[in-house]
Structure 1
Amino acid sequence: MTSAAESQRARFAALDPLLPPPSPLPPGVPLAAGGAAGTIAHVRFAAGSWQRLWSPAHLQILSAVLPREAGAGMSALLSAWRERIGRADAEPDSSCVLTWPSRDVVVARALLDHGLAPQLALAVRAPAGGEAYSVPGVLVRESTGGDLEEIVALRFEELHYTSFVGHGVVRPGAKALLAEEVRRGLQFGGRVWIAEEEGVTVGIVTSGKRSPIPGDSLAGRLPPGEWGYLGTLAVTAAARGRGIGRALTSVAHDELFSPSSRGTFVSYNPANPLSPVFWHRQGYRPLWTTWAASPAAALR
């Protein structure tokens, strides 16, 4: 292990006890500057794919190993990245992204100075059941096959909202893609909880269980073991502010809790005026933050 890798391992352990040891740099175009080393992976999502609802078509993903002076190392690496982008054509439907521990404020300063903005937070909650909470006149129940149309409608409303404050993109065929994703999630063990008032669906939350395995998106993000997760939480605009989201998550947390669980996790957009406050009140705190910038801005 190089001295920079050893330094990064020690920094991560000191920053947050839930951070797994840093993974080796993944394959990609090598980049080095200021004692820092990185790789840039290019990911392209096919037209009409599910991923394009939540991402630009083309991602440049930076992974980094930083020296002891982490802020200066990241700044140097971002400057080198900017120069490389400047030599290439900047695609309009693309983004430069980097995921980094949320508590590393020294590196966050470098990211902000270079024009990146926090786009997504992976937040965790200690293992616990949900505190009993209900809203008068609102029934929370597990979905059935007859709820598909209402679930998709709320998922689409959430996507539309996210397109203003986050990384959602309302593309042609979005509702059909959402319907297929809901079916697939239910088929592979996910659940959807429905909040219903006078027979009308006013909110949903999706949930399930996952364990980090090599090669998946959670590898290197969460410690090994079983984790519960809450996916999309959506409440109709007219029903917000009445505790319906809290009632939904309370039921989902109860269903996900087990003595062997490591906890639960969610992802939310830090710029969303509703999500961070809500999830922090439910006991979540950010572990990783994904930062992004448009290549057209050339990472100033």
Structure 2
Amino acid sequence: MTPAAERQRARFAALDPLLPPPPPLPPGEPLEAGGATGTITHVRFAAGSWQRLWSPAHLQILSAVLPLDAVAGMSALLSAWRERIALADAEPDSSCTVTWPSRDVAVSRALLDHGLAPQLALAVRAPAAGEAHSVPGVTVRESTRGDLEEIVGLRFEELRYTSLVGHGVVRPGAKALLAEEVRRGLQFGGRVWIAEEEGLTVGMVTGGKRSPIPGDALAGRLPPGEWGYVGTLAVTAAARGRGIGRALTAVVHDELFSPSLRGTFVSYNPANPLSPVFWHRQGYRPLWTTWAAAPAAALR
């Protein structure tokens, strides 16, 4: 580990004890400025793919190791990134992203000054069973194959809502892609619980367990060990505000809890007027924030 990387590791540990040691910079285009070093990784998602429902077609992802003056280093790196983008043709269906510790508010200022906005938060909760919560007339149960249509309908409504306040994109064939993803998730161990009222599905939540392994999306984001996750939570518009989301989440926490669990995590959009306050009330707090400027030409 280089002295700069070791310094950043110590800085992260002081910011938040749950931050794991940062991994080495991933392969990509090298970028250096103001004593900071970084790489830019290009990710392209194929037309018609599931990922394009939740992302632009082209992502430029900046990973960075900052100097002692982290704010100046990030600012210099973003300016150099902007100049590089200006020399190329910016694609309209694209975005520039940086994922950084949520508690590093000093560096957050530099990100804001360069036109990036918080797009996604990875939040964590201490390992604990859920506090039982019931709603009169509403039952929560694990889904069956017969619930597929209702689950996909709720997932589609959640996508439409997310497209208004965050990173969701309602593309052609979205419902078919959602249906296939639900089937695949259930096939490979994902679980879905639904809330019913008078025979009608009024809410759903997905969940499961994961362990960070080298090379996956959680590597360098969560400490090693077994983690529970809460995936998509959706409640019909007419049923919101009655505690159904809380009841669903409590069931997931109970089902996932075990003495060996490190905790649970969830991702939400900070700009969503419903998600942040809800998840914070369930005991979650942000660990990482993904900042984005879209399209790529918006970076300043």
Tell me the TM-score normalised to structure 2 length. 0.99
In 2, Cα distance between equivalents of 1:175 and 1:284:
30
Equivalent residue number for residue 82 of structure 1: 82
Equivalent residue number for residue 118 of structure 2: 118
- 1:37 to 1:264, Cα distance in 2 relative to 1, 3 A: same
Q: Is 1:136–2:126 an aligned residue pair?
A: no
Q: 1:86·1:298 contact (CA, 8 Å) conserved in 2?
A: no
Equivalent residue number for residue 241 of structure 2: 241
Equivalent residue number for residue 49 of structure 1: 49
Q: 2:133·2:247 contact (CA, 8 Å) conserved in 1?
A: yes
Deviations 1:151-176 (A, max 9, x none): 00000000000000000000000000
Report matched runs for 1:149-164 at 5 Å. Answer: 149-164=149-164
Deviation at 1:2, TM superposition (A): 2.3
Report matched runs for 1:177-196 at 5 Å. Answer: 177-196=177-196
Q: 1:85·1:298 contact (CA, 8 Å) conserved in 2?
A: no
Equivalent residue number for residue 250 of structure 1: 250
Q: 2:86·2:297 contact (CA, 8 Å) conserved in 1?
A: no
Equivalent residue number for residue 231 of structure 1: 231
Deviations 1:105-164 (A, max 9, x none): 011000000000000000000000010100000000000000000000000000000000
Q: 1:195·1:248 contact (CA, 8 Å) conserved in 2?
A: yes
Report matched runs for 1:197-212 at 5 Å. Answer: 197-212=197-212
* Percent identity for Structure 1 against Structure 2: 89
Question: What one-letter code is carried by the residue in structure 2 that aligns with 1:123?
Answer: A
Report matched runs for 1:162-177 at 5 Å. Answer: 162-177=162-177
Deviations 1:22-49 (A, max 9, x none): 1100000000000000000110000000
Q: Secondary structure at the match of 1:195?
A: strand
Deviations 1:42-93 (A, max 9, x none): 1000000000000000000000000011000000000000000000001000
Question: What one-letter code is carried by the residue in structure 1 that aligns with 2:289?
Answer: T
Deviation at 1:284, TM superposition (A): 0.2
Deviation at 1:295, TM superposition (A): 4.2
Gaps in structure 2 of 5+ consecutive residues: none
Equivalent residue number for residue 24 of structure 2: 24
Equivalent residue number for residue 68 of structure 2: 68
Q: Secondary structure at the match of 1:62?
A: strand
Q: 2:39·2:64 contact (CA, 8 Å) conserved in 1?
A: yes
Report matched runs for 1:99-114 at 5 Å. Answer: 99-114=99-114
Deviations 1:195-238 (A, max 9, x none): 00000000000000000001100000000000000000000000
Aligned residue pair count: 300
Q: Is 1:36–2:36 an aligned residue pair?
A: yes
Equivalent residue number for residue 91 of structure 2: 91
Question: What one-letter code is carried by the residue in structure 2 that aligns with 1:45?
Answer: F
In 2, Cα distance between equivalents of 1:203 and 1:134:
13
Q: 1:29·1:41 contact (CA, 8 Å) conserved in 2?
A: yes
Q: Secondary structure at the match of 1:209?
A: strand
Superposition CA RMSD, Å? 0.7
Equivalent residue number for residue 279 of structure 1: 279
Report matched runs for 1:210-221 at 5 Å. Answer: 210-221=210-221
Report matched runs for 1:1-16 at 5 Å. Answer: 1-16=1-16
Q: 1:44·1:57 contact (CA, 8 Å) conserved in 2?
A: yes
Tell me the TM-score normalised to structure 1 length. 0.99
Gaps in structure 1 of 5+ consecutive residues: none
